[in-house]
């Protein structure tokens, strides 16, 4: 096992896709597969569960992921201490994202950034993802994680880091809303909705309303932040259309009170990415983060 093997494994553990990892790491898919098989033979444990669509880490894979992250970080810190990496970047980098993104997408990005630039101080602020572009434009944040807006300001650059399917959720505990959504052909106009105040997800919901000819939907509340929406649905207040990653990263007691409605047709996945002011891409810290993406 060498550092190159750990880097290949760690990228695959984050991307969960052989094609993307082989392209990013400049190896063929067959080479990547052989390297992973060699690691599995060395450890005597399968590291991934594979099928035609997905790649998932096994328990052994999760342990190796932690080991790989720590080992690569320690190696980079050693190189810096020995002066092999040239002048080290330092200073403060301000990031803005939702609570969900702080759990789901930010950790692997920060792991790689900290491994390359351990002296940089990360200041993270969480809030409604719909506010990320505005936070970046106002310089309250250097970079923000956001869904791709319908119209991206010309002064802002955006690079995609993932695609997130939308789901329609309802309460699973006995209540009037559950009864309404359990019908063979739910009357959507009579079911209360909980909506985000604004942002890309709200745009998707408005499109869904039009597709289903809901000119006057029943709105229970508009809420800032998807995490609060999930809690309100769990309490039986209504139903909501939101990114699936929000439910996946909600606390288990809340998830257990939610059901996903599969009898509906939803739109295309939401593009998630990092945004930044174009004129600031020449700043060393921001450029280093951007190049890592």
Confidence at residue 234, expressed as pLDDT on a 0 to 100 scale:
96
Sheet bearing 120-126, strands edge to edge: 120-126, 91-97, 143-147, 270-277, 156-164
Cα dist. 144→26, 105, 159, 204, 292 in Å? 28, 12, 11, 21, 15
CATH number attached to the domain at 1-86: 1.10.10.10
166-268: in CATH 3.40.190.10: yes
Percent of the chain past pLDDT 90, that is, above it, reads 57
Supply the mean pLDDT for the chain. Answer: 89
DSSP 102-150: HHHTHHHHHHHHHHH-TTEEEEEEE--GGGHHHHHHTTS-SEEEEEPPS
Q: For residue 22, what pLDDT is reported?
A: 82
Confidence of residue 53 (pLDDT cuts 50, 70, 90): low
Q: What is the mean pLDDT of residues 116-122?
A: 88
- CB distance 30 to 60 below 8 Å: no
The domain limits of the chain are: 1-86, 88-162+270-293, 166-268
pLDDT > 70: percent of the chain: 95
User: How confident is the model at residue 235, as a pLDDT?
Assistant: 95
Asked, colleague to colleague, whether 1-86 and 166-268 share their fold, the answer is no
**Residue 209, pLDDT score:** 92
Give the model's pLDDT for residue 79.
Answer: 66
Classified by CATH at the fold level, domain 88-162+270-293 comes out as D-Maltodextrin-Binding Protein; domain 2 (3.40.190)
Question: Residue 100's pLDDT band (boundaries 50, 70, 90)?
Answer: very high
First to last CA, the chain: 26
Span 7-39, pLDDT tens digits: 889 888 888 888 878 877 778 888 888 899 999
The answer, yes or no, to whether residue 276 has pLDDT greater than 90, is yes
**Residue 82 scores a pLDDT above 70:** no
Question: Is the per-residue pLDDT at 107 higher than 70?
Answer: yes
pLDDT at 229 over 90: yes
Could you read off the pLDDT of 175-191 as tens digits, one per residue?
999 999 998 889 999 99
- pLDDT, tens digit, for every residue of 145-170? 999 988 899 999 999 999 999 999 99
For residue 81, name the pLDDT band (cuts at 50, 70, 90). low
């Amino acid at each position: 096992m060498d550092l190159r093997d750990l880097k290949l494994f760690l990228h695959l553990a984050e991307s969960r896709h052989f094609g993307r990892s082989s392209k990013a790491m400049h190896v063929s898919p067959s080479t990547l597969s052989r390297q992973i098989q060699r690691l599995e033979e060395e450890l005597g444990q399968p590291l991934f569960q594979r099928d035609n669509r997905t790649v998932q880490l096994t328990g052994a894979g999760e342990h190796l992921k932690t080991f790989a992250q720590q080992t690569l970080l320690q190696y980079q810190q050693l190189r810096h201490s020995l002066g092999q990496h040239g002048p080290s970047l330092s200073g403060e980098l301000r990031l803005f994202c939702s609570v969900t993104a702080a759990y789901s997408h930010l950790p692997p990005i920060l792991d790689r950034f900290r491994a390359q630039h351990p002296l940089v101080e990360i200041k993270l602020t969480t809030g409604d993802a719909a506010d990320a572009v505005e936070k970046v434009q106002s310089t309250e944040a250097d970079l923000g994680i956001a869904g791709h807006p319908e119209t991206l300001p010309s002064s802002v650059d955006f690079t995609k880091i993932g695609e997130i399917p939308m789901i329609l959720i309802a309460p699973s505990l006995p209540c009037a809303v559950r009864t309404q959504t359990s019908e063979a052909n739910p009357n959507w106009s009579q079911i209360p909705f909980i909506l985000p105040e604004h942002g890309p997800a709200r745009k998707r919901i408005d499109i869904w309303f039009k597709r289903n000819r809901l000119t006057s939907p029943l709105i229970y509340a508009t809420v800032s932040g998807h995490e609060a929406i999930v809690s309100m649905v769990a309490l039986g207040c209504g139903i909501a259309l939101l990114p699936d990653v929000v439910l996946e990263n909600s606390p288990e007691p809340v998830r257990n009170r939610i059901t996903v409605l599969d009898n509906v047709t939803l739109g295309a996945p939401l593009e998630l990415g990092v945004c930044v002011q174009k004129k600031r891409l020449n700043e060393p810290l921001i450029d280093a983060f951007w190049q890592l993406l």
